[in-house]
Structure 1
Amino acid sequence: MGSETQIIHNNELDQLVHVFMISFPGQGHINPLLRLGKRIASKGFLVTFTTTENLGQGIRGSNDAVSDQPVPIGDGFIRFEFFDDEWPDGDPKKFDMDQYLPQLEDVGRRWVPERLAVLAQEGRPVSCLINNPFIPWVSDVAEELGLPSAMLWPQSCACFLAYYYFHHNMIPFPTEDALEIDVEVPTLPLLKWDEIPTFLHPTTPYAFLKRAILAQYKNLSKPFCILMDTFYELERSTVDHTIELLAPTPIRTIGPLFKKPIPGGARVRADPLRPNQDCLKWLDGKPDGSVVYISFGTIVFPPQKQIDEIAAGIEAAGITFLWVMKPPAKEAKMSPHTLPDGFLDRIGDNGKVVQFAPQEQVLAHPAVSCFVTHCGWNSTMESLSYGVPMVAFPSWGDQVTDAKFICDVFKTGIQLTRGEHEKRLITKEEVEKCLRDATSGPKAVEMKKIALKWKDLADEAIADGGSSDKNFDFFIDQVRKRGEIVVANAKKVANGLPTKENGH
């Protein structure tokens, strides 16, 4: 293995433009950035992907291909490095963003330049930095090092625009004196007070996340390109308006990132647990369009009483279901969810409960009829791109805005809850009715028809010559050109010659 790696290094790696990606340590941030990293690598680049060591432990444990050694992806390679945030596992300060984000910045501002210097000495100089939100200091580090940078926005363009208007105080948003006012963002539907991203509401318990997100908006002029994991046909007028607002910094929609086939890409994943492949075999035995898939993402953890009501509603509706019931995070110090006594015995083979599922494969399976989802953007994009209608069960953040779009704009969903602002239990009767409406009758038929339309448009966007494909090629061309300038400048510095601007 060592000799093979040495051969790869000597013959190929030294010739590739090297892109360094830094992710905020959250699963909803890591997944889309890694998808982007694999796509970049496939075009003949060396990509180094990094996040914190505490996330790295889980990623390495669930995927044998995650290593500091280069793994072939298409025409290039991807490798991983993880850095110590210098706080011990279990430290309560890690879960206070107001304390943790400054710590992450302090460590990152030291570690990234040091690490890049070592890579340069090893003959693999970095030519571009790419980050996602919550760590805008990456753009500062790139500027200080004379390197170009880009940012991947992992939510909808609609949410990006709402944050932009809030940050620049361009329109009224709810305040302590006017908590329930509607919000009118150009190109978006009228958003009620509980449909804006909840972090922007004055009553949010997550004000630290608002500060973290908005910090990126102070640095929007520094990246040479802002990438979005959406596709133009899905948010056409909003994308056009955002492009006008941020000119001359280009906005490029390149999604759905997960759906573009990449040679060798499937083996490199960042799942926190090893997916349960048994559920796919179970789905194989079910008729087409007969199974409801239920998953609330990696962070949302509904109260036990709500789980009881959902289970009762499922049983009353008589549906066949696959339910991802993940364990709580260790630091949360919460008890795992339980199901009502005798529930699984009564359901029999009409239901399956797992801790983790390969969601993309599940949603692509013909047996799946609809998706009960927390409406995170990754899940929303996956469901739209596979033509799967949704039952919207948002909690907070951009989820409530995504739910609004799923149901009222994209018209592929039924809303079961309006999120944390409701402050109530969704009853089993509501769950039962919603599941029946989503799986049978005229509403279900219409949603499926529209969902398949979005699937076709997503496929067209990522196909050769499609909107996302052309945008990605533009970005790759820019990275390559800037990378060549950076490498040329590095060689001139080494030889004591004057350099050109890096194109940033």
Structure 2
Amino acid sequence: MGMRPHVLVVPFPAQGHVMPLMKLSHRLIDRGVKVTFVNTEFIHAQIMAALPGKGEEHCGIHLVSISDGLELENERKDALELMGTIPRVMPGNLEDLIRKILQEDDEQIDCIIVDTTLGWALEVAVKMGIKRAAFSPYAVGLLALDLQFPKLMEDGIVDSNGTTVKDEVIKLSPGMPDMKTTEIMWNCPDNPITQEIMLGFAFTINQAVKLSNWVLCNSFYELDPLIHDLIPNLLPVGPLLMSNRLDQPAGSFWPEDSTCLSWLDKQSPCSVIYVAFGSMTIFSQHQFEELALGLELVGRPFLWVVRSDLTAGSDIVYPDGFRDRVAHHGKIVKWAPQQKVLAHPSTACFLTHCGWNSTTEGLSMGVPFISWPYYVDQFYNERCICDVWKVGLGLSPDKDGIISRHEIKSKVERLLCDQGIRKNVLELKEIARKSVSEGGSSSKNLEEFIEQIKC
């Protein structure tokens, strides 16, 4: 085939799902693959507004959009509504887009890469005779657990609603943390809406893996070889990182504040606490204030990402006088170029929500973690960080469920004195780097995938 292969990429419409697929798209383009990236109209508009340069070619990626069927922005705040509308409306819209590309542009589509939570997009590809790859944006251990769901139901460990019936410990491989069945993502008895969504995802992911020719994931084989071997057709292609020569952000929904990089340049090596909780975490006002006062109490330089919606109230309200007291050593931004911050020699540790993208970026840059998970998969990632890889410390809430300022100070000080954790994270950094270098496991997997889609 003389023409370069053409791949259509379809992410789930959330920041933590769009970014790794955008990074994968850059890696494919570097290897001569043409990429068309399909967002919902709402997400597409957010990305275009956040991009430094306007235009629908983003470092060689062709950005296009289809409707998710919702008109008003606030409708998207109802997660169940969104979950219901997407599979009803988007398959037809995706099929129309594919037909348009095939007819108008006289283009072939060699493969469609789809987030595992969007099984309907793979069904469209099956119908249209296009090769299919499912992409898992979270830890491989959780993908393996999701694939165990039918068996757990068959064995009477969980019921058809995802609720745990038998309290048991699951350990699919020695490199995986012990997981109690009560801790599994689908078991959210206090939050029936979350449980319904997570259960829907478990069924969809099982279906997506069955419909796919390949399963790609943002991980590397050496992180847990035995878990990787449990999943058929799995190709780990991570850690997915932006290359240094690409200035533009990888599908960020918010403009990145790069002033924090020049601020970091002025700090001492290995002195700064980087604090960022991803795109979804929301704190109560009380907890937000304890966090602020904890950072002040530590007395070290800190860089804190504070989204405008980080607290449950309408506005961000800092403790009285806090901004003035920390002005000489604290930098607060709305959104940061995280990978560059983690790679900066001044960064000492990462206080994080343990999202999978943040976890892989921290590992790849050799930065130890203070873990503060917020929901679903982040609790599993914390267990890997603290108990399996031993590259970080967790925070313990007080009797009221609050992480106190004194707990934050104590754990940061302990972490920065722990040479064992430092050694472990630098070893994993080296393994991660090797995996994506020429001849490394993830690099070879990506080459193999590209060769197969050309056939």
TM-score (norm 2): 0.92
Matching residue's letter, 1:163: D
1:127 is matched with 110
Amino acid at match of 1:471: N
1:270 CA displacement = 1.0
Is 1:211 aligned with 2:209?
no
Question: What is the aligned partner in structure 1 of residue 89 from structure 2?
Answer: 107
SS at structure 2 position matched to 1:168: helix
Alignment of 1:143-182 (within 5 A): 143-169=126-152, 173=157, 181-182=168-169
User: Does the C-alpha gap of structure 1 residues 437 and 179 become closer, same or farther in structure 2, counting only changes over 3 Å?
Assistant: farther
The CA distance in 2 between the partners of 1:272 and 1:18, in whole Å, is 25
State the match for 1:235 in structure 2.
224
Which consecutive unaligned segments of at least 5 residues does structure 1 have? Answer: 1-13, 482-504
Does the C-alpha gap of structure 1 residues 366 and 174 become closer, same or farther in structure 2, counting only changes over 3 Å?
Answer: farther
State the SS of the aligned residue for 2:62. strand
- SS of the residue corresponding to residue 341 of structure 1 reads coil
Cα distance, 1:34 vs. partner? 0.9
- Count of aligned pairs: 446
Please give the secondary structure, in 2, of the residue aligned with 1:449: helix
- Alignment-derived partner of residue 501 in structure 1: none
1:404 aligns with 2:383: yes
The equivalent position to 1:320 in structure 2, one of 285, 301, 319, is 301
Q: In the superposition, relative to structure 1, how do residues 343 and 84 fare at CA in structure 2: closer, same or farther (>3 Å)?
A: same
After superposition, the Cα gap between the structure-2 partners of 1:96 and 1:17, relative to the gap in structure 1 and judged at 3 Å, is same
Q: Which residue of the partner structure matches residue 70 of structure 2?
A: 87
Check if 1:67 corresponds to 2:55: yes
Q: State the partner residue of 2:336.
A: 357
Give the one of 31, 34, 43 matched to 1:43. 31
Amino acid at match of 2:221: Y
- TM-superposition CA deviations, 1:115-146 (whole Å, max 9, x none): 11111122123221111032111111000001
Deviation for aligned residue 1:418: 7.8
Distance 2:80 2:257 in 1: 36
CA distance in 1, matches of 2:115, 2:298: 41
Are 1:339 and 2:339 an aligned pair?
Answer: no
Return closer, same or farther for 1:412/1:325 CA change in 2, 3 Å cut-off.
same
**Structure 2: which amino acid aligns with 1:324?**
V
Could you list the per-position Cα deviations for residues 357-399 of structure 1 after superposition, in whole angstroms to 9, with x for gaps in the alignment?
A: 1000000000000000000000000000100000000011110
**Is 1:475 equivalent to 2:454 in the alignment?**
no
Q: Distance in 1 between matches of 2:369 and 2:400?
A: 22
Superposed displacement of residue 405, structure 1: 0.5
| Deviation at residue 51 of structure 1 after TM alignment | 1.1
- How do residues 434-449 of structure 1 correspond to structure 2 at under 5 angstroms? 434-439=411-416, 441=417, 443=418, 445-449=419-423
Instruction: Indicate if the aligned counterparts of 2:147 and 2:205 stay in contact, CA closer than 8 A.
Output: no
Q: Is the 8 A contact 1:393 1:417 kept in 2?
A: no
Question: What are the residue-to-residue correspondences of 1:167-316 with 2, within 5 Å?
Answer: 167-169=150-152, 173=157, 181-187=168-174, 188-192=176-180, 196-205=183-192, 206-214=194-202, 215-240=204-229, 242-243=230-231, 246=232, 250-258=233-241, 261=243, 265-267=246-248, 269-316=250-297
What is the aligned-residue RMSD (CA, Å)? 2.4
For the residue of structure 2 that corresponds to 1:396, the secondary structure is coil
Most deviating of 392-401 and 167-176: 167-176
Kindly provide the CA deviation profile for residues 329-378 of structure 1, in whole angstroms up to 9, marking residues without a partner as x: 8xx98423321111122123211111111000000000000000000000
Deviation (angstroms), 1:181: 4.5
Partner SS, residue 257 of structure 1 = coil
Bigger-Rg structure (1/2): 1
Are the counterparts in 1 of residues 372 and 395 from structure 2 also a CA contact under 8 Å?
Answer: yes
Gapped runs of 5+ residues in structure 2? none
> 2 CA distance for matches of 1:282 and 1:179?
52
State the AA in 1 paired with 2:20: P
Instruction: Indicate yes or no: 2:370 matched with 1:391.
Output: yes
Does 266-275 or 379-388 show the bigger shift? 266-275
Return the alpha-carbon distance in structure 2 between the equivalents of residues 224 and 178 of structure 1. 34
Give the match for residue 428 of structure 1: 405
Aligned to 1:140: 123
Amino acid at match of 2:423: K
How far apart are residue 147 of structure 1 and its match? 0.8
Q: In 1, distance between residues paired with 2:261 and 2:269?
A: 13
Q: Relative to structure 1, is the Cα distance of residues 227 and 476 closer, same or farther in structure 2, using a 3 angstrom cutoff? A: same
The TM-score normalised by the length of structure 1 is 0.83
Counterpart of 1:235, as a letter, is D
Q: After TM superposition, give the deviation of residue 189 of structure 1 in Å.
A: 2.9
**C-alpha deviations, 1:411-435, integer Å up to 9, x for none?**
000001489xx97111122111111
* Aligned sequence identity (%): 28
Distance across 2 between alignment mates of 1:318 and 1:367: 15
Match of 1:496 in 2: none
1:64 is displaced (CA, Å) by 4.3
Measured at CA, do residues 189 and 173 of structure 1 come closer, stay the same or move farther in structure 2, by a change above 3 Å?
farther
Say yes or no: does 1:22 pair with 2:10: yes
Q: Distance in 2 between matches of 1:458 and 1:143?
A: 34
Residue 451 of structure 1: how far off its partner (Å):
0.8
